[in-house]
Structure 1
Amino acid sequence: MKKEQILQNLRNPGIVAIIRADDSSQLIDATQALLDGGIRAIELTMTTPNAIGVIEKAAAKFGDQVLLGLGSVLDETTARLGILAGAKFIVTPVFRPAVITACQRYGIPIASGAYTPTEALTAHEAGADFVKIFPADGLGAGYIKAIKGPLPQLEIIPTGGVNLKTVKEFLDAGCAALAVGSNLVSKEILASRDWAKLRETAAAYVAAVKAAKGL
């Protein structure tokens, strides 16, 4: 899949599910449940045991049905290993220029972490495709709107604070997509392996995004 197609699939429908799991065996079933609920962009964080191996296994199983991303990436080597394992996008929690360079080399989209407007613009100018505002839960949609005022060129993906009640607020503020973690893929759902509940929750987020976009 070419980079531009990956970017379009991240923007539309515009939801990235973040999975932070203690048990890597949960990931394949969780991915299937999210896919069944209508979410195809899934970020697996490096805090998950054997994250690279899980990416490789999931990529082999799902192919282009799912956009698998590797998150919490802090160095070029990890980014490279993730991409070679099948990751279609990379996410960093903070600005890491070497990771951006690696993603450019492989033609893979990157969402670079940032918190301040200066960090956000620096990441954009370094070549980041998206700016991940993190943590966004203490900032809210108003902060995104304020940044987009003087910096409309930034494609922002907030992480933290996104739930079914705030979906419309963040999209109205000009976000390119929304990253949803524990409000979607909770530890309770993973521990109980309640994949039906996860599928229902995923579908609810997809519906909320479509409603907010008037689709």
Structure 2
Amino acid sequence: MILYGRDMSPFARRVAIWCDLQGREVERRQLLVAGPQWEEIKAVNPLGRVPALVLDDGEVLVETAAIIDHLEETAPEEARLLPAGGAERRRTLQDIAYATSTAEKIVALVYDKVRRPEEFHYPAWIERLEGQIRAGIQVLEGRVPEAGWLSRTDQPMGGDIAVAIAGEMVEVVFPDLDVGDTPMLDRLVADMRGLPAFAETRPKP
């Protein structure tokens, strides 16, 4: 399989880590969406978005949730990173939902505050995004247990991946943004850094 998307994309990174923890071999093509490599990405996904996963038979899957749905469906039961059902599955999917929403706002702030020329900045919108990121990080902080994984198992699962990526991303991209105290989230990120799949995909600012 071939995965399009840089580690700076929290969504491409999530798919990469998911594949690694499931023991899948994936070729990475870390292309920059905002640069001239966009044309190469559009050849795979006409919308020019990442992640995009090219399966071994040439089929292309786009959008994180759809890709992960395929990975979960085709993985052996012992390698799946989502609970099968019930309250545990709902809790995990909500962990992922809050992490996804927070990561989306971080990406939006990158475009509005970093990539957009300063004369075109919209201060009220930037303030709104920063507030949403702060709120999202605090929600994630409240969902992380004092010890162990979000999955309440002896190994990290899908919720741990998504939440830790969001927590680390704001630290990497906007280190001066005050998101409040996050001792539980910091602890989770530190624990995830013990996994090569997480540590080796840490984005570089």
TM > 0.5: no
TM-score, scaled to structure 2: 0.32
TM-score, scaled to structure 1: 0.31
Who wins on radius of gyration, i.e. which is larger?
Answer: 2
